[in-house]
A and B are shown apart, each in its own frame.
Chain A
Amino acid sequence: MQRHLILEDGTVFQGLGFGAPATTFGEIIFHTAMTGYQEIITDPIYDGQMIVFAMPVVGAAGIHAEAYESVKPTIRGMIVHDLAEVSVNRQRRMNLDRFLKQHNIPGLYQVDTRQLIRHLRETGPQKATIVDYADEHAVDQLVATVLTNKQVQNTATPKPYANPGRGRHIVVIDFGLKHGILRMLGDYDANVSVLPYTATVEEVLTLDPDGIILSTGPGDPRTLPESVLTLIRVLQTKVPMLGIGLGHELFAMANDAELMPLPSEHHGMNHPIQEIISQQIFYAMQGQGYAVDETTINRKKLFVTYRDLVDGAVQGLRHREFPAFSVQFFPDAAPGPLEATAVFADFFETVEDYVEHYNQY
């Protein structure tokens, strides 16, 4: 069935509907990754957003049990050029189309996605809606719609839970955690406790963690309560800490740095990222609408550890005093290049060091 995508600036794209026949509103962004569509659409960082894929054919790898980044996807729409109907599910015929239907997410295909991406790279992200008819009413609706800024609240766990293991005890503060982080911690057989981002210092320290991870998450971190920053400020002095994505942005803010919105959001895995100390270049999944404004970094507290060589954006920070560091990119490689997982090795080295010498901390 013919459906339409309307952008806030009035541009209309025509396509065929797939997934749910729902009408939705969301912020539209584009993604240039050529693999990992299932991980991307289930990643909570895209809560409330519509994703345009540059990858020309999407769906041909099926939907895999091991490729969920959250059990329930919360994106508002998926726009692709060509849709494939492959199922690898042994129990049900579960292809991308049915998957989106099941989760009430609309999709649009046979769209000139290259034109749309070339348009969005100029305008930056904007509000958009997927509708049956692109009439004035739909445009008015879109203009009048106020998108939520409560994405973290929507996706983060309200209650603590455990992912037990026999190794080091890692507390994950959940801002919209993706499975990839838990999977990586599983590789280290970590004993994981996931706490809501509203947890108190007391609640975290009572668990006596060997390390703390500030998870990835969706949206603008500046909308989160000040208490989160206070929590980070206290915890970073006590236990090794790794911030990822939104967690990195919060870590920077807790240490006086400010964020700036990127002119055009960056979602993909092909930018060279350089580790400054070794000058090594590697690639990682990136998904960011904000970056740490380097001019606001307090050099007495933080220094830059990684940089995106394409746009120069800060990709990692480390605290000068405490065993705390953070990365903007996603080192869980879900999806994305495995070389980025070295960050977890770094983290566990720090954790081991802490466990061995904790009384010096």
Chain B
Amino acid sequence: MSNITINTNIKKLLFIGAGANDFGREAEHDAAIYQVMPELRGHGIDVFVIDENPYALSLESLAATSFWQPLTVDNIKMIIQANQIDTVVPLFGGEASLRIWAEVVQSWSHGDGALPNTLGLSIDMLLKVNNIPAMTAFMADNGLPVIKNYVLKAQDEANELLRTLQLPLMVRALHPNQTNTRHIIERLDDFEAAIHLAKSQSVTQEVILSRAINGLKEVSLEVLRDVRGNKMQIGASEDMDPIGIHTADSLSVSPILTIQDQLISRMRDYAFRVADMLQLQGIMHVQFAVDDDTDKIYIIKVSPYIDQMASRMALATGYPTMLVAMNLAMGVPLEAIVLPHNFGPQAAMMEPMMDHVVVKLPVFPFGELAETGIHVNRQLNSVQKSVGSTLGFGRTFIEALEKAIRSAHFNNASFSPTNMAHINDDELIQQLIHPQDNRVLLLIEAIKRGYEIDELAELTAIDEFFFHQLQHLHQLESEIEADADSITSLKRGKKYGLSDGLLARFWHTDFKIIRTLAQTNKIEVTYKAVEPSAGEFPENARQYYATFESENESMQVAEDAILVIGSGAFRMGDAASGGYATTITMSELHRLQHPTIIMNNNPSDATLLPHLADKQYLEPLEISDVMKVVELEQPKTIIIPGNRRKLIRALRELGQQVVILPKEKHTPGGPDENESEFALNLFFDGEEVYPINITQHMAGEMRVIAPVNAMPSTLTFTALENPGVYQIIWYERTVLWRQAVDFTRIQEASWLRPMPFGQIAFLTKAMCVEWLRLTIRAALHELTAQDRTLLANVHDWVIPEPIAIVAADVNYRLHLQPSEVIDGTRFEIGVSVSDYGRS
């Protein structure tokens, strides 16, 4: 027996959420908090959570008392004092929440009472982690390889320093006020502007300058450390793109393929030493720059909290990352961690191994913006431009890459194989040196045109492995193209992850023909489990991916299962709403006790949390991918977002029972500067229409303004088919908040549409009525008598506290350098709550 010292003083614990979605911040924090809260509740702890993001699922969890409020020092203090909070967990909210908690701690005064205990990091270390030069010096003092930082305030100091340093240089803000971006300066001309920009991002007007290490490999390791100092590695990935391109914008691969063991072991050792220095209890992501010619390694970033790497690795390996990280933060040693029964007895302590390849591809907003005539700087650099990402799982790099491309760009003609033919050689070279979002296609095009691998590797600083792979892919595609309708080619193509759709394009036919050809020739998909022992132990896996191998491991999970089709990556405009809707759907199915299957590929939201489904398919969402799962699982019902029209049609043709989550294809809309968009909101249960209330939407802000006392008798709803929340929209030239609305105008300029998921999230939280759950229950004919009473009376509800959602303060100019101002109402990335009524 080991003598375990679990912290038993934790009675009331507060999570600080991550706030609105932004570049580099999707729903991974909320998902992590949402996942661990019920476990804490199970240990008898009172759980509280504050977040301002209307999409936050943790705010709707039954396991916690939630505060939907702006994340301010005052609000956090107030919650702590009013609820006698004794423990705070900032680490699950990531960098933003760490920063705000540091502010709370620094402004805590004697009169505020006892400062709650911080889990995971001591206050000292918390402050250190927030201060880049201090952290860098701390690591250097401990003999760790870092790049020296120079902190400066004035431009002439910078000019002085410039004489001793060589270009390229990296410029960052010290104590960043919100977003912390790195700028690489390669030309002297850009120096002044970069310093100026970094200063403007700094609370103290100070700038950090250091040598840039462009061209090295970027590697990420995810490690854990427990209260006893035990450490383990739970994930690793390498970026295809070298340092100089933001890691979020890079194609990343797990496991690390191109770096030899000795270097990886050294990085692991460095990461462990950093964890020890910080006396960390929890999870940490460490980023390295690696020069595998000289075997030099530098630590470039330390993130002792949940971030996208953590959630991506959890999905890629099947290791119970979030549950273990929470236990560690609570002081439970690795050895004593008890996991839910679907994990093996030693699962927490075994380092996860992978027998599959996972490729992460970023998703960029350029297409959506270009459609409305906004042009942005598409060149990738050290400032993040992607807004989301998808994962592709396969048994080879090419298969995983093909599946990631399919996930990131489904229905997107820009990934057609002939897309690059028009580009001339000069442009090609330019883009090889200054890559854009389409670089995978560009690299293939360069190979097509006969550039040597050595040359390309030199020019791009990308490892030759990737060029060999792309060359292989190019050969494969040309051979397949030249060998139409051949079974051998079909088999090869399938093995490397090419979809029915892509093969159909090569052979100038329809995907259905390809499907039939594969079926009649018994080219069958096989599903492999994603489990952390890489086959060493019998697994109880729930996660699967498709490949073309000999053995299939996935069997029908239940005869009456419901299959939920996810909405893939975050995209500009739809923002976090797709993930929110999918997750609520699954949670409701779980409550209604339906066996549930999910298909999705987004690592940064809650849809693929292990406890939400009986089975997960980590797959692209093209029609052929969905069809394969449907054939195997024979689900009773399939739930699909309404914008997937082709898929819905195809499934109905097959006689599948489809439930549609009402959703329109995203089109940028909303009021312009001088007008208001009004909405009469309605719920349709499949038979009757129930009025909800009136909302007013001005550019950047939306409020509930009035109940609906009577419906205009002129309205008919014959067009409605699927249960859900709808709204009738009209515009008026006004910029004043209304108290009441004139219904007579509705007939004129009105428009009936499904309510966007984002507004559903808002209404759900503002009214405490779970509109999506009601939608699911209505669609499955499981509305209760209580539900019906609520629906009949909801039209005269008055929102108890005035509340609004506001477009979050996303710095588009910094990230995208657009040709014109991007309006946050039309192109949403993040949304926050505003408690305008209180101030």
Q: Are A35 and B261 in contact (CB under 8 A)?
A: yes
- Bitwise, B505-548 to A at CB < 8 A (1) or not (0) is 00000000000000000000000100001111110000000000
Q: Which residues does chain A contribute within 8 Å of B261, judged by CB atoms?
A: 35-36, 39, 61, 67, 334-336
Q: Are A309 and B346 in contact (CB under 8 A)?
A: yes
B56 within 8 A of A: no
- Checking A30, A55, A61, A310 against B350 with a beta-carbon cut-off of 8 angstroms, the contacting residue is A310
Tell whether A54 pairs with B534 under 8 Å between CB atoms, given A34-B353, A309-B349.
yes
A337 to B272, CA, bound (A): 11
- Bitwise, A26-50 to B at CB < 8 A (1) or not (0) is 0000101111101100000000000
Tell me how far the C-beta of B360 lies from the nearest C-beta in chain A, rounded to whole angstroms.
Answer: 16
- Bitwise, A196-208 to B at CB < 8 A (1) or not (0) is 0000000000000
A333 to B537, CA, bound (A): 24
- Bitwise, B461-488 to A at CB < 8 A (1) or not (0) is 0011100110000000000000000000
Tell me how far the C-beta of A241 lies from the nearest C-beta in chain B, rounded to whole angstroms.
Answer: 27
Q: Which residues does chain B contribute within 8 Å of A54, judged by CB atoms?
A: 353, 355, 534-536
Q: Which residues does chain B contribute within 8 Å of A270, judged by CB atoms?
A: 350-353, 533
From B468, which residue of chain A is reached at the shortest CB distance? A85
From A52, which residue of chain B is reached at the shortest CB distance? B535
Q: Are B262 and A335 in contact (CB under 8 A)?
A: yes
A349 to B150, CA, bound (A): 41
Q: Are B228 and A279 in contact (CB under 8 A)?
A: yes
Q: Are B396 and A81 in contact (CB under 8 A)?
A: yes
A245 to B464, CA, bound (A): 37
A345 within 8 A of B: no
B24 within 8 A of A: no
A56 within 8 A of B: yes
Tell me how far the C-beta of B129 lies from the nearest C-beta in chain A, rounded to whole angstroms.
Answer: 24
Choose the segment among B15-23, B158-166, B250-258, B701-709 that binds chain A (4+ C-beta atoms closer than 8 Å): B250-258
A338 to B232, CA, bound (A): 12
Q: Are A310 and B257 in contact (CB under 8 A)?
A: no
- Bitwise, B331-365 to A at CB < 8 A (1) or not (0) is 00011000000000010011111111100000000
Q: Are A60 and B257 in contact (CB under 8 A)?
A: yes
A86 within 8 A of B: yes
Q: Are B354 and A34 in contact (CB under 8 A)?
A: yes
Tell me how far the C-beta of B764 lies from the nearest C-beta in chain A, rounded to whole angstroms.
Answer: 42
A84 to B255, CA, bound (A): 14
Q: Which residues does chain B contribute within 8 Å of A339, judged by CB atoms?
A: 231, 269, 272
Q: Are A272 and B350 in contact (CB under 8 A)?
A: yes
Q: How many residues of A are counted as interface, with CB atoms below 8 angstroms from the partner's CB atoms?
A: 53
Tell whether A281 pairs with B335 under 8 Å between CB atoms, given A54-B535, A114-B535, A270-B351.
yes
A30 to B230, CA, bound (A): 28
A279 to B2, CA, bound (A): 8
A54 to B535, CA, bound (A): 8
Q: Are A337 and B265 in contact (CB under 8 A)?
A: yes
Choose the segment among A115-123, A137-145, A250-258, A351-359 that binds chain B (4+ C-beta atoms closer than 8 Å): A115-123
- Checking A62, A114, A272 against B346 with a beta-carbon cut-off of 8 angstroms, the contacting residue is A272
A101 to B528, CA, bound (A): 32
Q: Which residues does chain B contribute within 8 Å of A274, judged by CB atoms?
A: 335
Give chain B's interface secondary structure class.
loop
Q: Are A34 and B255 in contact (CB under 8 A)?
A: yes
Q: Are A84 and B465 in contact (CB under 8 A)?
A: yes
A57 within 8 A of B: yes
A268 within 8 A of B: yes
A112 within 8 A of B: yes
Q: Are B258 and A338 in contact (CB under 8 A)?
A: no
Q: How many residues of B are counted as interface, with CB atoms below 8 angstroms from the partner's CB atoms?
A: 53
Q: Which residues does chain B contribute within 8 Å of A279, judged by CB atoms?
A: 2, 228, 335
Q: Which residues does chain A contribute within 8 Å of B255, judged by CB atoms?
A: 34-35, 55
Tell whether A112 pairs with B536 under 8 Å between CB atoms, given A35-B261, A56-B357, A280-B228.
no
Q: Are B350 and A271 in contact (CB under 8 A)?
A: yes
Tell me how far the C-beta of A55 lies from the nearest C-beta in chain B, rounded to whole angstroms.
Answer: 7
**CB interface residues, A 262-290, toward B, < 8 Å:** 268-272, 274, 279-283
Q: Which residues does chain B contribute within 8 Å of A309, judged by CB atoms?
A: 335, 346, 349
Q: Max chain A CB contacts within 10 Å: which of B258, B260, B266, B495? A: B260
Q: Are A338 and B269 in contact (CB under 8 A)?
A: yes
Tell whether A32 pairs with B536 under 8 Å between CB atoms, given A61-B258, A114-B528.
yes
B397 within 8 A of A: yes
Q: Which residues does chain B contribute within 8 Å of A338, judged by CB atoms?
A: 265-266, 268-269
Q: Which residues does chain B contribute within 8 Å of A84, judged by CB atoms?
A: 257, 465, 468-469
B549 within 8 A of A: yes
A66 within 8 A of B: yes
Q: Which residues does chain A contribute within 8 Å of B463, judged by CB atoms?
A: 86
Q: Which residues does chain B contribute within 8 Å of A115, judged by CB atoms?
A: 549-551
Tell me how far the C-beta of B544 lies from the nearest C-beta in chain A, rounded to whole angstroms.
Answer: 12
Q: Which residues does chain A contribute within 8 Å of B355, judged by CB atoms?
A: 54-56, 81, 113-114, 117
- Checking A34, A67, A282 against B262 with a beta-carbon cut-off of 8 angstroms, the contacting residue is A67
Give chain A's interface secondary structure class.
loop
Tell me how far the C-beta of B243 lies from the nearest C-beta in chain A, rounded to whole angstroms.
Answer: 19
Q: Are A117 and B228 in contact (CB under 8 A)?
A: no
Q: Which residues does chain B contribute within 8 Å of A280, judged by CB atoms?
A: 228-230
A159 within 8 A of B: no
Q: Are A32 and B533 in contact (CB under 8 A)?
A: yes
B264 within 8 A of A: yes
B259 within 8 A of A: yes
B663 within 8 A of A: no
From A311, which residue of chain B is reached at the shortest CB distance? B346
Tell whether A114 pairs with B260 under 8 Å between CB atoms, given A86-B465, A268-B353, A338-B268.
no
Q: Are B350 and A64 in contact (CB under 8 A)?
A: no
**CB interface residues, B 213-250, toward A, < 8 Å:** 228-233
Q: Are A281 and B268 in contact (CB under 8 A)?
A: no
- Bitwise, B541-570 to A at CB < 8 A (1) or not (0) is 000000001110000000000000000000
A337 to B221, CA, bound (A): 14
Tell me how far the C-beta of A87 lies from the nearest C-beta in chain B, rounded to whole angstroms.
Answer: 8
B395 within 8 A of A: yes
A294 within 8 A of B: no
A220 within 8 A of B: no
A38 to B230, CA, bound (A): 29
Q: Are B550 and A121 in contact (CB under 8 A)?
A: no
Q: Which residues does chain B contribute within 8 Å of A282, judged by CB atoms?
A: 230
From A36, which residue of chain B is reached at the shortest CB distance? B261
Tell me how far the C-beta of A286 lies from the nearest C-beta in chain B, rounded to whole angstroms.
Answer: 12
- Bitwise, A307-319 to B at CB < 8 A (1) or not (0) is 0011000000000
**CB interface residues, B 443-475, toward A, < 8 Å:** 463-465, 468-469
Tell me how far the C-beta of A318 lies from the nearest C-beta in chain B, rounded to whole angstroms.
Answer: 21
Q: Which residues does chain B contribute within 8 Å of A334, judged by CB atoms?
A: 261-262
Q: Are A57 and B551 in contact (CB under 8 A)?
A: no
A82 within 8 A of B: yes
Tell me how far the C-beta of A7 lies from the nearest C-beta in chain B, rounded to whole angstroms.
Answer: 14
- Checking A32, A110, A118 against B551 with a beta-carbon cut-off of 8 angstroms, the contacting residue is A118
A270 to B257, CA, bound (A): 18
A118 to B552, CA, bound (A): 12
A81 to B255, CA, bound (A): 14
Q: Which residues does chain A contribute within 8 Å of B2, judged by CB atoms?
A: 279
A67 to B260, CA, bound (A): 8
- Bitwise, A60-73 to B at CB < 8 A (1) or not (0) is 11101011000000
For the complex of A and B, list the 7 residue pairs with the smallest distance between their C-beta atoms, beginning with the closest: A335-B261, A36-B261, A115-B551, A35-B261, A270-B351, A117-B535, A54-B534
Interface residues of A, Cβ cutoff 8 Å to B: 13, 30, 32-36, 38-39, 54-57, 60-62, 64, 66-67, 81-82, 84-86, 88, 110, 112-115, 117-118, 121, 268-272, 274, 279-283, 309-310, 333-339
Beyond the given pairs A86-B463, A121-B538, 17 more chain A to chain B contacts, judged by CB atoms under 8 angstroms and listed by A's residue number, are A13-B550, A32-B534, A32-B536, A35-B260, A55-B255, A61-B260, A82-B395, A84-B465, A114-B528, A114-B549, A272-B346, A282-B230, A310-B349, A334-B261, A334-B262, A337-B265, A338-B266
14 example contacts (A-B, Cβ-Cβ < 8 A) are as follows: A32-B535, A54-B536, A57-B357, A60-B465, A115-B549, A117-B534, A270-B350, A272-B232, A272-B335, A279-B228, A280-B229, A281-B334, A281-B349, A334-B262
